[in-house]
Amino acid sequence: MDSWNKPPSKPPWNKKTPQPNIDEVLNNLQSRFKMNFQGKNFSILILLAALALWLSTGFFIVEPAEQAVVKRFGKFHRIEDPGPHLALPKPIETRITENVQQVRRIEIGFRTSSAGSQARTVRKESLMLTGDENILDVQFIVQYRIANLPDYVFKITDPLDTVRAASESAMREVIGRTSVDDALTTGKDAIEQSTRNLLQEILDNYRSGVNIEIVKLQDVHPPDQVKEAFKDVASAKEDREKMINEAQGYRNNLIPKARGEATKILNEALAYAEQTVLIAEGKAKRFTAVYEEYRSAKEITKQRIRIETMESILPQVRKVIADPQMGNNVLPFLPLQDLGKLSNSGNQRSAQ
């Protein structure tokens, strides 16, 4: 019971002991936490971030009109088409992306500036020897695109230089089989087509993965040293062609006329022959008919023939009709021809 009567003891915090500092405690805890984080957890986070960054290198996007060649440990593995794709991170898998629909252009014999104007001529590429041993300055372009991306990437070392060298070689071979006249005038289309076919054959043998779209001659002319002489020769050839064309035109105009005249003369001769035959046949039939009449009535037929003959003769001769009483003495009227003239002039005056 006495315990209940004892005064209560003082609380422990009333003792004179140092009070804990809350801020200090928190700082201690924070420092311990940072040490632990930097020691272990921070290293793990760094490793995770590095791993995520490394894995992200396997994500890539292939743009439209492009293809990507994926290599695994440096060897060809697959082709990826346009769209997002995942691959093993580098250096396990690497990729090469190319635009396979782009038409690429190579200039041979000349180079143009970025503005598009011709900057300079490359003589070592443009000077070529023709089949008749003339020198020409040939400048042309080649347009191509990628047809097989793996071959384009792995089969040839430098695609641009390869296509350029093959194009120059093909053009030199075609020009070497062509005369200078054909190369300067009418043979350009044949040169372009032959060069394209030969160049495609060369690149196919290389397995370059390149498809030649077009070979186009830009300029074909003689070297500057002999350009004037070539112009004179070309002018002479043009004059020759002009004269030949004029002669051909005259020939083409003259021959049809001559043939027409010949046909006309032949037709007239045939018509005259037919007419002559018909007239002869008619006269023969008339003679036969007259002869038959003559046989049946000889005197009457003689008289009729005599009258018909006189009818055909008398209109063609001058006639003087005299009275029977004067017929015995025509001497005063001689010469009768002058009398006929006087008669005709009198008839004309009376008619006026």
pLDDT for residue 323 = 65
* pLDDT: which is higher, 254 or 321: 254
Q: How confident is the model at residue 49 (pLDDT cuts 50, 70, 90)?
A: confident
Q: How confident is the model at residue 289 (pLDDT cuts 50, 70, 90)?
A: confident
Answer yes or no: is pLDDT of 13 > 50. Answer: no
- Contact present, 115 and 169 (Cβ < 8 Å): no
Cα–Cα distance, 219 to 185 (Å, whole number): 12
Helix (H) or strand (E) holding 278: helix 227-296
Q: Mean pLDDT throughout 189-205?
A: 95
**Residue 158, amino acid:** D
Surface-to-core class of residue 143, CB atoms within 10 Å of its CB (0-12 exposed, 13-18 middle, 19+ buried):
middle
Answer yes or no: is pLDDT of 17 > 50. Answer: no
Task: Enumerate residues 6+ apart whose C-beta is below 8 A from 176.
Answer: 128, 129, 130, 131
Q: Is the peptide bond before 12 cis (omega within 30 degrees of 0)?
A: no
Q: How confident is the model at residue 277 (pLDDT cuts 50, 70, 90)?
A: very high
Answer yes or no: is pLDDT of 347 > 80. Answer: no
Answer yes or no: is pLDDT of 265 > 90. Answer: yes
Q: How confident is the model at residue 3 (pLDDT cuts 50, 70, 90)?
A: very low
Task: Enumerate residues 6+ apart whose C-beta is below 8 A from 190.
Answer: 178, 182
Q: How confident is the model at residue 27 (pLDDT cuts 50, 70, 90)?
A: low
What is the per-residue pLDDT across 171-193, written as a single tens digit (0 to 9) for each? 999 999 999 888 988 899 999 99
Q: pTM for this one?
A: 0.55
pLDDT for residue 16 = 47
CATH 3.30.479.30 in the chain is located at: 104-221
- What torsion do the CA atoms of 118, 116, 96, 75 make, to the nearest 10 degrees? -20
* DSSP annotation string for 7-58: PPPPPGGGSS-PPP-HHHHHHHHHHHHHHHIIIIIHHHHHHHHHHHHHHHTT
Output the CA–CA distances (angstroms, integers) from residue 314 to 139, 152, 310, 320, in the order listed: 97, 114, 6, 11
pLDDT for residue 275 = 92
Q: How confident is the model at residue 333 (pLDDT cuts 50, 70, 90)?
A: low
CATH superfamily of 104-221: Band 7 domain (3.30.479.30)
179: left (phi over 0), alpha (psi -120 to 50) or beta: beta
* pLDDT: which is higher, 35 or 254: 254
- Contact present, 95 and 58 (Cβ < 8 Å): no
To the nearest whole percent, how much of the chain has pLDDT over 90? 33
| Residue that is written with structure tokens 């991170």 in the block | 89
Cα–Cα distance, 119 to 140 (Å, whole number): 15
